[in-house]
Amino acid sequence: MNIILLGPPGAGKGTQARILVEERGMIQLSTGDMLREAKDSGTEMGNKVADVMARGELVTDEIVIGLIREKLEANPTAGYIFDGFPRTLKQADALAELLEEQGQTLDHVVELRVNDDALVERITARSTCGSCGEVYNDLTKPIPADGKCSNCGGTEFKRRADDNAQALQKRLMEYYKQTSPLIGYYYAKGQHSRVDGLGEIGDVKAAIAAKLD
């Protein structure tokens, strides 16, 4: 089973993707993680990524699709979670072509719906483990009292420089402009479903499971 998690910054896509990885054995394909991994890999594709990033340029859709192709070919029987891709209609078309080329299907597109005020509250309270990327929130999932990550035991936590209200507004504008049209795109294909992302993590997990099962 291959799925896309859609939603604005702070909607909880990364958290729910990690749950799906742990509980269903799926593979999370996060654009940012793939680019960082490729940059340090020393492969031909990785060297392309490193060169582009060194010049301060945006990585092209073709390169990202190439990285996804490598992942699919390396483990063709796995189920994949696309997190952070596609972001545009052009990328959605490219992903559809790639999946068809690989003899795979896109089974579900789950949108996590969260209102803007709640997103601001979440984002400004968010921190991550510096070792494994586990996400914490001062309001809903604080860092454990012993100061150790519940996932890996790490003791260093960080906040993203753009996790502030002003930066979030810019990111939301970009999301609504470029990515929200994907909702209609996948709805027309009968692949889109929506869950309330405002609930507790376990409640959102259960809502997603109900859509997938």
Which residues are registered as beta bridge partners of 108? 3
Active site residue 194: no
In the numeric block, the tokens 């992942």 are attached to 71
- Chain centroid offset of residue 132 CA: 15
Burial class of 151 by CB neighbour count within 10 A (0 to 12, 13 to 18, 19+): middle
- Please say if 36 is a catalytic residue: no
- Annotated catalytic residue, options 148, 160, 177, 189: 160
Rounded-to-integer distance, Cα 35 and Cα 65, Å: 11
Catalytic residue among 141, 171, 194, 211: 171
Active site annotation includes 160? yes
Exactly one of 13, 18, 122, 205 is catalytic; name it. 13
- Which residues, other chains included, contact 133 with Cβ-Cβ below 8 Å and sequence gap of 6+? 14
Structure tokens at 120: 């601001």
Candidate list 87, 141, 159, 194, residue with the active-site label: 87
Active-site residue flag, 87: yes
The answer to whether 117 and 209 are in contact (CB under 8 A) is no
Catalytic-residue membership of 126: yes
Q: What is the radius of gyration, based on Cα positions, of the chain?
A: 17
Which residue is catalytic, options 18, 48, 122, 126?
A: 126
Pairing label, strands 108-113, 126-129: unpaired
Q: Which positions are annotated as active-site residues?
A: 13, 87, 126, 160, 171
